[in-house]
Chain A
Amino acid sequence: MSDITELSIAELSQGFRDKSLSPVAAAEAYLARISTHNDRVNAFVTLRADEALAEAKEAEAEIAGGNWRGPLHGIPIGHKDLYQTAGIRSTAGSRVLENDIPNEDATAVARLKAAGAVMLGKLNTHEYAYGPTNDSSMFGPCRNPWDNSRFSGGSSGGSGAAVALRLCAGATGSDTGGSIRMPAACCGITGLKPTYGRSSRAGIYPLCWTMDHAGPLTRSAEDAALMYQPLPGPDGRDATVADRPVPDYAGALDGNIKGLKIGVPTHYFFDRALPENETAAREAIAVLEGLGAEVREVDIAHIDYAAAAAMVLYLSEGTAYHDDHIATIGELYTDQVRLFLELGNYVLAKDYLHAQRYRTLLGHAMADVLAEVDVLAMPALPLTAQPIGQEMIDIRGQSESVFGAILRNTEPFDLTGLPALVMPCGFASDGMPLSLQIAGRPFDEAGILKVGHAFQQATDWHKRRPPD
């Protein structure tokens, strides 16, 4: 075997279970790669090498003793630094929390720990998840592993860069406007935003309570299924979590999508994307059609208002959460995040409620469409990862902000809470990854993962790696 860090979570897990591979060797290999490659991307911001090796040894001993906990037992992962980790500094990428050490794990951290995952460390994030590029962080910008002069996407940029560069086998992220899916798309990996209310956000610093989601970033849909499996279900801490059966996500990946109805939106997602992003998505959809899916055009009513509604919600809820700090320790925030927090003071309550009413309206429009088709497919992003610090971009002759553009195709599924998966489907002429997004019906994570897995069985985009 050439390099254990090349293996998927599924392959590692099988090897650990049949004892052909060692969790300790895997942890050592990942730690070695972090020591030689992390400086390029600035993904890991807190490393726990000794503790991770101890956890790996414990996992190896447990498995040897016949106490295999499941597919994540011994798998080396990283957590977004927005997630609180007991006894381990958890900064949210902000000087406000520079020395903060929580007493309790986030629910997701606790459940992955209980599943036997090995925590290598904490990963860079856009400050308090309040931005889509991960270039505003107390640790400095997270860089794209495909081109270190470009952003990784955010806010879960450390997670995206680390998984793509094989610094960990999988990572956690959070998604309020696209913060799992944007870095996954920018870095050429797979990202799953589950349904709102499917799994707990307890212990994850909030950006916007009504739109925050938590989920995994991995190198394949199969790995996303494995890593997400322990997370759904009530925890008594997050009141939004639904108490409903949890399917066997990996077990549903049979590769068969014959007869699946895929809706392709006629406007908004394609016509305001860079041509290469549009073309790659259409080619990916053609692959799915070749696997037996039925493709038809659909129209989503009221979709054009998504950015306005999302903006109101970020500004209102973000400022409310940080209200006690803006006037007293506002200088600790990065300039961009402090600006957003200050702007939130000017939003009227009636506009906040208009935005929340719009979400109901858009939810009905999406439900109407998803009554006719099983999933929706579109480019994950309308652009590729851009140079760090670039503020504007020209898309089809129209100049707009990078922040506005990069959020466009992911935000609608935070507003509606629908599950969405992104996965690589090509490369642009600038060398940056291109990605397809699949969105599904509420609580149908299994359905979109199945589509992703079928696509990845037929293509090898998810196996491409950034230059070493």
Chain B
Amino acid sequence: MNARSPIKAETLKSVSAELAGQPISSEKAAAHAEIFENIMQMIETLRELPIKDVEPAVIFRPVERDGEDSA
């Protein structure tokens, strides 16, 4: 697994503004960085799982106008 760098407030501020289109203040970015670093430590454990040949459990259904399938 590739090593990850600790999350920086300026990174989250850039992601919010430049990728999400939802700018946040520096203060909020600093608070987010502390919280999201803890979340990211949880999330990255999933990258170690034996899931190479496992398909994601997402549901896709082709839309059929007659049946008004909403998927």
Contact = CB atoms under 8 A, between A and B. Distances in A.
Interface of A: 202, 210, 236-240, 302, 305, 307-309, 311-312, 315, 326-327, 330, 339, 342-343, 345-347, 351, 353-361, 363
Q: Which of B45, B47, B50 has most A Cβ within 10 Å?
A: B45
B63 to A, nearest CB: 9
Interface of B: 7, 12, 15-16, 19-24, 28, 32, 35-36, 39, 42-47, 49-51, 54-59, 61, 67-71
Contacts of B68: 236
Given A238-B70, A239-B71, A343-B36, A357 B57 contact: yes
Contacts, number: 95
A311 B39 contact: yes
A315 B51 CA distance: 21
A212 to B, nearest CB: 12
Contacts of B39: 311, 315, 343
A239 B69 contact: yes
Given A305-B46, A327-B22, A345-B15, 5 more contacts: A326-B22, A354-B49, A354-B51, A355-B43, A360-B54
Contacts of B35: 339, 343
B58 A302 contact: no
B10 to A, nearest CB: 13
Contact of B24 (A342, A353, A358): A342
Given A360-B57, A363-B57, A355 B46 contact: yes
Given A312-B46, A342-B24, A361-B50, A237 B58 contact: no
A208 to B, nearest CB: 12
Contacts of A330: 22
A360 B46 CA distance: 13
B28 to A, nearest CB: 8
B51 A357 contact: yes
A339 B71 CA distance: 29
Contacts of B69: 236, 239
A347 B58 CA distance: 17
A239 B22 CA distance: 32
Contact of A210 (B24, B46, B51, B57): B57
A343 B38 CA distance: 12
Contact of A346 (B12, B45, B54, B61): B12
Contact of B46 (A238, A346, A358): A358
A347 B15 contact: no
A311 B61 contact: no
B22 A345 contact: yes
B16 A354 contact: no
